Amino acid sequence: MQPGDRSLDYFPCHYGASRLTFRGPRRDLTGEYLAMLGGAETYGRLVPLPFAALLEKELGLPAANLACPNAGPDLYLGDRAALEVAAGARLAVVQLTGGHNISNRFYRVHGRRNDRFIAATPVLRALYRDVDFTEIHFTRHLLSVLAAKCDERFDLVLQELKTQWVQRMIEVLEQLPYRRLLLWLADHPPAEAGARWAGGAGTLIDREMIAALQPYANGYAELVIAPPPSLDGQLISLLACEGRGLGLPDATCHRQVAELLLPKVAALL
């Protein structure tokens, strides 16, 4: 077993006037640097050297890890100072995070923990009069409940989420430096266009949505994380007590991401 979260010091830090806490140690950004945006996978939970640090070592440029667990585009759009730090980079790598973790005309999410369901709008309450939202606290749970009720109504929610996610991501990308790379890093490939939502393991993002972002980036890299080995219940409970997040990329995966990105980043630089 590898040690859990409590054995790692993530050296939490801040950049510029941003209110967000990022993984450190804090990099010197007075010269040229790289910026990494994304969620828990880019942050590198449980990994001593995430791919941002590995790229930094190979390229000799500071890499500011601006990822946050459970981040979506709303996190960055709600903290302009973080976007300003990212905009000052020579190149930005942007992980494509879940399309369900955004505020929209049906529901609102937490400003920093974008996976947290805050409230249903009157539009959603009118559409789903048969749902009690008081016991729902996370976006995946919300979508699972809505999907189980009615396909036709759920399709309206899905279309709204997909449209809003693409628009928000474009808004984020347009505020980043000219050199931008998109990164898919998940335990499943992007869904094919028109595919049904995959349930709790899905991210709502399909290849058509990614294609809509590619004109705003200089490249795209895709890595599917190998599924974790099967574990018995006792070991899963122990890992949960240690704070380990099952299904997150391990050190080997982060090395693979760095190897995948290195030639693309080097070529753009």
Query: Could you tell me the CATH number of the domain that includes residue 180?
Result: 3.40.50
The three-class DSSP label of residue 116 is strand
What is the model's pTM? Answer: 0.90
The three-class DSSP label of residue 249 is coil
Angle between helix axes 151-174 and 139-149 (nearest 10 degrees) is 150
The pLDDT score that the predictor gives to residue 247 is 72
Total domains present in the chain: 1
- 167 occurs within a structural domain: no
The pLDDT score that the predictor gives to residue 236 is 46
With beta carbons less than 8 A apart as the criterion, state whether 36 and 86 touch. no
Distance CA 131, CA 124 (A): 10
Q: How many CB atoms lie within 10 A of CB 29?
A: 15
The three-class DSSP label of residue 115 is coil
DSSP tag of 54: H
Which residues constitute the domain of residue 63?
5-100+176-268
Distance CA 103, CA 171 (A): 15
- 85 occurs within a structural domain: yes
Distance CA 213, CA 243 (A): 34
- 47 occurs within a structural domain: yes
- 38 occurs within a structural domain: yes
- 180 occurs within a structural domain: yes
Query: Of 267, 269, 261, whose CA–CA distance to 95 is shortest?
Result: 261
Query: Of 78, 63, 69, whose CA–CA distance to 19 is shortest?
Result: 78
Distance CA 140, CA 161 (A): 13
Distance CA 109, CA 143 (A): 13
Q: What does the pLDDT profile of the chain (269 residues) look like in tens digits?
A: 344 555 689 999 999 999 999 999 999 999 999 999 999 999 999 999 999 999 999 999 999 999 999 999 999 999 999 999 999 999 999 999 989 999 999 999 999 899 999 999 999 999 999 999 999 999 999 999 999 999 999 999 999 999 999 999 999 999 999 999 999 999 889 988 877 776 655 678 999 999 999 999 999 999 998 765 555 554 444 444 333 445 789 999 999 999 999 999 999 99
- 153 occurs within a structural domain: no
Pairing of strands 34-37, 91-95: parallel
Distance CA 26, CA 24 (A): 5
Query: Of 102, 103, 100, 82, whose CA–CA distance to 36 is shortest?
Result: 82
Cβ neighbors of 28 (< 8 A, separation 6 or more) are 62
Query: Of 219, 222, 220, 190, whose CA–CA distance to 206 is shortest?
Result: 190
- 131 occurs within a structural domain: no
**Hey, CA dihedral for 224, 229, 232, 235, is it positive or negative?**
negative
The pLDDT score that the predictor gives to residue 252 is 95
